[in-house]
Amino acid sequence: MAETRTETHAAPDLDDFWHRCRAALDGLPEEPPEAWAFGATPEHADGLLALVLAGVKTATSSSLWDCEHTGEPVPTVGELSIILDGRGAPRALLETTSIEVVPFGEVTEEHAAAEGERDRTLASWKAIHERYWREHSENPRGYADDMPVVCERFRVLYPGPG
């Protein structure tokens, strides 16, 4: 399973989830951050979310070309995100801790392991992501060996009820 930021219509319980986050964590803004799900399908969203909640997945990656094509801004350090499950229910509050944009071929073993998928090797990461961007890219260029990849690290600030 690879991932991309897939915006999802907020579930009716988004306001309740944000209220619980604000009650648990000091200093959060009044307005909730963007809510989105990992992956291209509800099954991907649920599988990747499970890795996040288990503490296995602490990183994600996206195509800079997709961001440019759709107008979606590149995440920034300190940015908050509400992560949705495959049904669109809010399940976790994440904070971006680092961003690095590198060519596909320069993604590191460390980043691949932090994404937490399959055997957590760079070879596996490359196979998963090449296939994903060939099949699900939102830009006409799709995949290329030298494509810029946004490597994002994050931490879970608040795990919601499951």
pTM as predicted: 0.89
- Closest residue by Cα to residue 153 from 58, 49, 56, 45: 58
Q: Determine the Cα–Cα distance for residues 32 and 52; give it in Å rounded to an integer.
A: 20
Q: Determine the Cα–Cα distance for residues 18 and 24; give it in Å rounded to an integer.
A: 10
115 band by pLDDT with thresholds 50, 70 and 90? very high
- CATH number, domain of 33, equals 3.10.400.10
**pLDDT tens digit string along 132-141?**
999 999 999 9
162 band by pLDDT with thresholds 50, 70 and 90? low
Q: Which domain holds residue 24?
A: 6-159
Residue 1 counted as domain residue: no
Residue 17 counted as domain residue: yes
Residue 67 counted as domain residue: yes
The mean pLDDT value of the chain amounts to: 92
Q: How many domains does the chain have?
A: 1
**pLDDT tens digit string along 49-87?**
999 999 999 999 999 999 999 999 999 999 999 999 999
13 band by pLDDT with thresholds 50, 70 and 90? confident
pLDDT score for 12: 60
